[in-house]
C-alpha cells in the first residue's frame, strides 16, 4: 500500500495508510460497496483511531485526485468512494434500500460509441446509473 501512495506522489502518513487500508478492505470486491467520508470516519472511530473527519475528507479527495479512488454522487451531492480498479462499470441503485449493484455491458458501451460518432463526437467515457427497486428478498 505504501508503494501505491508513493507512486501517486503522496507522502506515506499514518492517516493515509489507515484510510487506504479501509478503502481496499471495504470496496475492492464486486459487491458494490461504496463508502462516504462519514462511513470511513465511523470505521476509524470503531477501531479507536484518532483521525478527524476533516482529515478523512482531505485524504479521500487527495486519493481521488491521484486516481486511487473514484468518487460518485449517486444521491444528490452525497459523495461516496470506491477503489479505482481501472475498469469501467455501471451502477444500479435501489431507491428503497440504497443497495448498489455494479455491472458492465459491452452492448451498451458500443451503442453509446455509435451515438457519439453519429453526432460527430469522439467518444471518451460515460457514466451510467440506473435507479429502481431491487427484489432480492420478500421485504423489497
Binding residues for Fe cation: 88
Residue ranges of the binding site: 88, 94, 134
Q: Are strands 100-103 and 90-94 parallel, antiparallel or unpaired?
A: antiparallel
CA angle, residues 103, 107, 113, in degrees to nearest 5 = 110
Helix then strand then coil, % of the chain, to nearest 5: 40, 20, 40
Q: List the binding residues for Zn(2+).
A: 94, 134
Handedness of CA 78, 4, 26, 134 (dihedral sign): positive
Residue 81 CB neighbour total at 10 angstroms: 24
**Structure-block grid coordinates of residue 7:** 507512486
Amino acid at each position: 500500500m505504501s508503494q501505491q501512495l508513493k507512486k501517486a506522489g503522496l507522502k506515506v502518513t499514518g492517516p493515509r495508510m489507515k484510510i487506504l487500508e479501509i478503502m481496499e478492505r471495504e470496496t475492492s470486491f464486486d459487491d458494490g460497496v461504496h463508502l462516504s467520508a462519514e462511513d470511513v470516519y465511523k470505521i476509524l472511530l470503531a477501531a479507536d483511531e484518532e483521525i478527524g473527519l476533516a482529515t478523512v475528507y482531505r485524504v479521500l479527495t487527495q486519493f481521488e485526485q491521484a486516481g486511487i479512488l473514484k468518487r460518485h454522487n449517486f444521491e444528490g451531492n452525497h459523495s461516496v468512494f470506491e477503489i479505482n480498479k481501472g475498469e469501467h462499470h455501471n451502477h444500479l441503485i435501489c431507491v428503497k434500500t440504497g443497495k448498489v449493484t455494479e455491472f458492465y455491458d459491452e452492448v451498451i458501451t458500443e451503442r453509446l460509441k455509435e451515438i457519439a460518432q453519429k453526432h460527430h463526437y469522439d467518444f471518451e467515457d460515460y457514466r451510467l446509473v440506473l435507479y429502481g427497486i431491487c427484489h432480492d428478498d420478500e421485504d423489497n
